[in-house]
Amino acid sequence: MARAGLTAERLAQGGADLADEIGFEQVTVAGLARRFKVKPASLYFHVKSSADLKARVALVALAELADRASEAVAGRSREAALAALGNSYRNYAHEHPGRFAAMQLRLDSETAARSDGPRHTRLMRAILREYELGEADQTHAVRLLGSTFQGYVNLELSGSFSHSEPSSNVSWEHIIHGLHILLQNWQVRQPGAANDRE
Amino acid sequence: MARAGLTAERLAQGGADLADEIGFEQVTVAGLARRFKVKPASLYFHVKSSADLKARVALVALAELADRASEAVAGRSREAALAALGNSYRNYAHEHPGRFAAMQLRLDSETAARSDGPRHTRLMRAILREYELGEADQTHAVRLLGSTFQGYVNLELSGSFSHSEPSSNVSWEHIIHGLHILLQNWQVRQPGAANDRE
DNA sequence: CGTAAAACCTAATGGTCGTAGGCAAAAGGC
DNA sequence: GCCTTTTGCCTACGACCATTAGGTTTTACG
């Protein structure tokens, strides 16, 4: 009986493909075993548990998207960079919904620190540097961008925008532009009056 | 043997409580049956399936939050209304993480239409009316607000903001204010130059 | 070529969803 | 107040999943 040649990496990759096909929530040890024509018990030689498997899928997605995003942003600045980054997220999510869902899995802080998550943050900060925000405002902006990108794509994927006009593509472009405008004006408020709530 | 007095409503309510305690993903027919000191099979008299149960929890959450948000927004306008709405979402999510997660369950379009989801949209539009945006821009703005609120709270709940300064509360206030600024300036671009991507 | 580690297997436990069919409690007719 | 019907919950079961224990085959290496 020829061996399947399983490794943790191949399982994570296969799990990611499976997630894109049937949804991340539906990924299961048994299902992945079927895909590799192997018995479920065999997977436990390479991954600790079902949760471990899912975390590995998340790491794959995090790394892939970080690569894509870096490439897309390279050589662009300001609004073009912002759009490139946003589009990386959105396109990746459309092409790989299961992987994108996996990315939102809550990782324990140690795994999160070793992951490519920080790369995403650094990439955003690199773009924001051009808007010349203060230190704290840069962090706020990172959080804003992350929230809006993630939130928009989630709502879009869950179908929330598909039952009304105008098309989601149009809204997306307006929102990217809006964020750019907001970032441009952000610093202006800084030297002026009190920065807290009115 | 005294009867438990189950109904679909009580099960949805109990499911919502269970979700807040152990997480929405962990809600199970068997677990809910234990909570009501009843056998799993008994629940199927009141709900069609596990998926049906979860959908009912989502409807409960959608309705509860719509009530809260309406109340919070009443009598406020512009930035105050925006902040009240955002805080409704955020506070609800913090107090009821399981219910909040349930709200993001993908409902089939018929159920979604009957749900209180549209109330959320109407409430946002009511606030946005004061910013005097165009018809299409109002839709874009609804999508922006929904995305940002949902995305921010999700990232916050998943712990993404808890490992760095400044505190999430501060970012939240800045982001609400930023959105207000953005909405104020949104219309300005309207009469000016071309509205598409530069 | 033989040995030992590595890769995969069988088997078993215990959890989940969901269906079928039984029994007992509550509700309604008389 | 008794009898019948509906309703609510139960037992029993089949199918699937996660996970562990322990056995067997394959491969690598000395």
Cβ contact, residue pair A104, B158, below 8 Å: yes
In which band, very low, low, confident or very high, does the pLDDT at B188 lie, cut at 50, 70 and 90? low
- CA–CA gap between residue B35 and residue B31 (Å, rounded): 6
Tokens, residue A54: 């899912």
Residue of A134, A111, A133, A119 whose CA lies nearest to A88 = A119
pLDDT (average), residues B105-113: 93
Cβ–Cβ below 8 Å for A197 and B173: yes
Between CA B122 and CA A162 the distance in angstroms is 17
User: In Å, how far are A19, A26, A134, B118 from A32, measured between CA atoms?
Assistant: 10, 10, 47, 39
Instruction: Look at residue B4 in the predicted model and tell me its pLDDT.
Output: 67
pLDDT at A190: 46
Closest CA to A63 of A138, A21, A12: A12
| Nucleic strand C interface residues, CB < 7 Å | A 1, 3-6, 37-39, 41-42, 45-46; B 1-3, 28-31, 40-41, 44, 49-51
**Per-residue confidence (pLDDT) for residue A187, from 0 to 100:** 65
Q: What is the mean pLDDT of chain A?
A: 92
DSSP A75-107: T--HHHHHHHHHHHHHHHHHH-HHHHHHHTSPP
Residue A23, sorted as left (phi over 0), alpha (psi -120 to 50) or beta, turns out to be left
CA distance A106 to chain B (A): 6
Alpha-carbon span A176 to A160, nearest angstrom: 19
Residue type, B84: A
Domains, chain B? 58-189 (1.10.357.10)
- Write down the pLDDT at residue A115: 96
Q: Given a cut of 50, is residue B165 above it in pLDDT?
A: yes
Q: What is the pLDDT of residues B48-98, one digit of tens each?
A: 999 999 999 999 999 999 999 999 999 999 999 999 999 999 999 999 999
d(CA A3, CA A14): 17
Residues in contact with A85: Cβ distance below 8 Å, sequence separation at least 6, in sequence order: A69, A72, A73, A123, A124, A127, A145, A149
Interface test with A, best of B28, B104, B143, B197 (most A CBs within 10 A): B143
Residue B142 contacts residue B125 (beta carbons within 8 Å): yes
The pLDDT of B172-191, averaged and rounded, is 83
* pLDDT at res. A189: 52
**Residue B187 in contact with residue A134, Cβ under 8 Å?**
no
Higher-pLDDT residue of B120, A189: B120
Residue A186 is predicted with a pLDDT of: 83
pLDDT of residue B162: 87
Predicted local confidence at residue A193, as pLDDT? 41
Ranges of residues in chain A with a pLDDT under 50 are: 190-198
List CB contacts (< 8 A) between B177 and chain A.
189, 197
